[in-house]
Amino acid sequence: MAESFDQIVIGGGPGGYVAAIRAAQLGQKTVVVERDKAGGRCLNYACIPAKTVLRTAEIFHEAQDSAELGVVGNDVQLDWGALHKRREDVSATLSGGVEGLWKKNKIEFIHGDASLTTDGNVKVGDEVYEAKAVTLATGSVALPIPGVEFGGRVVETWGAWSLPERPNRIAVVGAGASGAELASAYARFGTEVLLIEMLDQILPAEDKDVARVVERVFKKQGIEISTGAPVENVEAGDSSVKFTYGDNSAEVDYLCIAGGRAPDTEGLGLEEAGVELEEGGRKIKVDEYGRTTNQKVFAIGDLVNRKALAHKASEEGVVAVEAAAGVETHPVDQELMVGATFCQPQVASVGLTEAQAKEAGHEVKVGKQKISGEGAGIVYDDKDGLVKLVVDAKYGEVLGAHVVGNRACDMIAELVATMALEGGYQELSRIVHPHPTVSEAVLDAARAVDGWAIHA
């Protein structure tokens, strides 16, 4: 037996690296095992690279389209090489920062593939490390659509974010958060974009009113949208990809599949360690603290529960290692897990949509406010934004909050806090918001529930 640890974390992404740091803060002798780079997929191949490219798309688009603001950019050009160098630099900086945090907290870092042993210890290569507790944080992998394999000009999201050249035409299959972000970025770069969603609306997890706003803006940006038809008959060639969707056919430079992900459990030795699965073998079965059916093994992030979100993984990691260390903690509230999509306009939501609230048997009231109704909405050129609150008609509890706008993902935190503290729209309608800010739309949306929004 090699060295022993209080806590072994398998996976160094946003769930794993945060879990390791929290464990170390609690005095646990901790090691992280990661097969790739510190920061995992999120920092190196997913969230951070995507947002870095989206930031460039935002600036490029504004530079081209800011004449009415008094800024005229002549011959604005996109430097594809510089864009991707910055993407690489940002990821490298943050990955190095994670390693620095591990060193600061005296956390060991082992490169390699890890698996569980029958007694719940961890094997890396030929070494077996004894653990008082193990946290699985290996994230997820991209799923192709039936009958299609990744390769060549059929790419998953990382392949799309790291293309060697700007394509003239791209199709994105799956209009959830990842697909919407890709479509939004490439459309603003000047690429012809076809966005295909098999369900009946883009952003299918979002409230219909919010999805309608995004669809309207996407069409203004030149994005061609198809809903309600799957992609079939894919023929990938050396220079293009042909396929059909419903009664239509298309040929594009690249076909990006952004339709779903699966937990990355291959090679972890779950069965040998007595770690059970659920949801038809897709997810690891855990209790509210992340503990699996092997009492010394915990699992977090994309491996468990419904949503696959970096911030969810981080918070589940904190709770898991606190529970393993025997300190007082409380479970992550999965019902208050905020969704954030960084397309243009951004979308952020928490809780129930209006339809979900009604289906759950609630008598609901709704308050809506256009961000353009506020002074800051005009100042900051947020023409299409909207705040929507779904509240319980009897007591005023906020059941769901939905924001679409230029900075929606920053605006949602106030609403998450209100719901976490069991506040109602009545409190929101009396909280003074600074002027002029787009957050004032939250104030008016709360007042709109009772019909007295000032700027409606």
- Beta-carbon contacts of 196 under 8 Å, excluding residues fewer than 6 positions away, are 171, 172, 173, 174, 175, 226, 227, 229, 231, 245
Distance CA(253)–CA(168), nearest Å, equals: 7
What φ, ψ does residue 284 adopt, rounded to 5°? -80, 135
Tell me the torsion sign for CA atoms 313, 315, 319, 324.
Answer: positive
How many Å is the Cα radius of gyration of the chain?
Answer: 23
5: its two tokens: 């640890």
CA–CA separation, 305 and 318 (whole Å)? 16
Distance CA 36, CA 181 (A): 25
CB 390 within 8 A of CB 400: yes
What DSSP character marks residue 380? T
Q: Nearest 10 degrees: CA dihedral of 410, 411, 414, 420?
A: -80
Among candidate residues 61, 84, 435, 455, the one labeled active-site is 435
In 47-176, which ranges are continuous DSSP H helix? 47-64, 80-104, 157-161
Residue 402, CA distances (Å) to 213, 411, 455 in order: 12, 10, 19
Partners of 116 in the β-ladder: 122
Known active-site residue 433? no
Cα 237 to the center of its chain, rounded Å: 31
- Residue 423, CB half-sphere, CA atoms under 13 Å: how many? 18
User: Catalytic residues, which ones?
Assistant: 435
